[in-house]
Every structure is written in structure tokens, then in C-alpha cells.
Amino acid sequence: GIRGVSLTHSIPIHSIMHSLFITFLLSHLLLPSLATDTCFTCASPELEANWEVTNLPLKPKDLIFTDKCSSDTDPSLGKSCSQGVCYEAIIPLNKRVTYVRGCYASFVEETNYTRTNVNPPVCVYGPYGKDTVIDTSKNNDEKAAYAANRWCVNANDGELCNAELKYSEGLYSSPSTYFKKCTNPGVPLDRQCIECSHFGGGGDCKADSTTYCRGPYCVKYDGYLNGDVMTVRTCAPTTPFSGDECVWMESTSDFQLFGITLQLPYKAWHCYCSGDKCNPSSRVSSSLLLSILLPLFLSPFIPPFSSS
């Protein structure tokens, strides 16, 4: 009889190894990178009309303002992040806790934060002056307000990293436990900063003021609220920047007056620094000075940082 002909062909071992290597690359390097380039992207609704309190110079056009930003339960809030560094913050506003999350590069013009230096995550927090927030979990009691900023990169398991700062009773009842993953690397917690304010015709806030507060960062806000000159020097518990920085902020802010919400235009420089009494404009560091002067060359219509 006729003998059967085998259709089975032997495959060279090097071809098998090549295929396995390609599979390894796809599963361990390329595919996880797609997951790591995604961040939760959202903000609390109250921040849409009060963006200046975030101190972030850019408000992304695709940012979703939703109450869901207080948790991590909605996967539809994930958006791509080419830089790979995710960001989140807790910001007290009008006795409420608000949140902002997203790709850090979409909030700032440039940054020193990279995948390398935020892995493990960088997280800073502190009490928000004498402000309080309403504890909605227990009889609407007023508790000390805290602010926090956190930077991170996603692990290879694809879980988005920027939902650690979220609503929890522990935020009110035990802040030290809630923020146990937060540190304040390299920044002393007891800087002496000038504290004063001036708005319109009221107050006095000159560079030689002798009234001080203490905190990890000093800050100066200098600009206009509803067209009137405004200057504020004070302490700040956190900063959304990786170093000393000045940014120009423009927004329309909500102010409550006799139960009526007024929307007032706000334009000001926000300058952060980490040295003792570093927030009079006549003594800003060279890095602050550069960040002040550069926009003046780019946009002659922005008023300069005041030296008052």
C-alpha cells in the first residue's frame, strides 16, 4: 500500500526562542507601559470656579469636575499621561475637602519630577493654617483642615496610583494615620515666614513687615482681585512644585457675601520658597527671579511681580 506522508515540519529551536522573547517583551515591557501611562483625571466641582486655590498654573481642558473625584471607584476617569507621573492633591476650600487628580505635566509648564524620582511616591502634607473643614461623617463637626500633594507612577499591575488621597473618616479623626505614607523630604517643618495682607485700600503688607508665621514653605500672592491690588504673604503647608517657583494664575473666584455668591476676577503671581523669611519680593532666590522675569519677555501684558 501507499505509505502516509507526514505533514509535520520541525521548527528550529532558535525560532521558538525568538517567539518566546517577543512574547516576553510584549507582556512585560510594552503592554504594562500602556497601563502606566494612565492617571485618574478629575477635580471636585468647587475647584472649577476657584482654580487659584490649587496653585497649579494650567487647568487642562479635558479635566472632569465631578464629586466622584473624592474616591477611586470610576474607571472612566482614567486618561493617558505621556510623561507618566500622576498627581493628586487634597485642598480645603470653604470648610470642605476638595480633590484634584491627573497627569502632572498637564498642570504645569515644566517639572523636575520624573518617573525615577517619584518612585517610590513623593507626598507632602500639613495643617492648612487655622482653617477648619466640616466632618460630614460625624454630626458635621468642624475639624482641623489639612492639605496634601502627592506624585507617583503606576505599578506594572496596571492599577492607577493617584487615588491614595481620597475620602475617609480617618482624614478627620486621625490625620497622622491617614497621612502615614506622606513625608516631607528635605524640608524643615519650621520655617519663619512674613505674614501680612493688603487688599485695595486696607491692610499693610510691605517687604519689611515684622509679623511672622511658621511653616514648611513661605508664599507670596501678588496681583489683583476684582481689579484691586492684592498682596498676601504667609506660610503654606505644602507646595505643588518640586522647588522654589513662581506661577501666574488667572481665574474667576467665588466669594460668599451675605448668602450671595459673587464671581470676581483673580489675577496674581503665586510664589513659593523654602527659606527663612524668603517671601519678601526683594529677597527672592535667583530661581524665583528667573521665573518672574521670563514671562515678562513672553507676554508684555502681564503685570510684573510687585516689589512693595
The pLDDT of residue 306: 39
Residues of the chain with pLDDT under 70: 1-36, 72-73, 183-189, 254-261, 281-308
The pLDDT of residue 188: 55
Strand order in the sheet with 217-225: 202-204, 196-199, 228-236, 217-225, 260-273, 245-257
Cell of 194: 512674613
Separation CA 256–CA 140 (nearest Å)? 20
Cell of 83: 510623561
- What single string gives the DSSP state of each residue in 96-142? EEEEEEEEGGGTSS--S--TTTTSS-EEEEEEEEEEEEEETTTTTEE
Cell of 274: 523654602
| CB-based burial label for 275 (10 Å; 0-12, 13-18, 19+) | middle
Strand partners, 135: 141
Question: Residue 102 in contact with residue 63, Cβ under 8 Å?
Answer: yes
| Residue-wise pLDDT tens digits, 105-131 | 999 887 778 888 888 888 888 888 778
- Grid cell 472632569 in the structure block, residue: 64
| Closest by CA position to 264, among listed 256, 277, 255, 273 | 255
Task: Tell me the whole-structure pTM to 2 decimals.
Answer: 0.71
The pLDDT of residue 261: 67
Separation CA 102–CA 42 (nearest Å)? 6
Separation CA 244–CA 249 (nearest Å)? 16
Strand partners, 87: 102, 151
> Rounded to 5 degrees, what angle do the CA atoms 168, 74, 252 make?
80
Q: Please name the residues in contact with 119: beta carbons below 8 A apart, sequence gap of 6 or more.
A: 152, 153
Separation CA 269–CA 284 (nearest Å)? 13
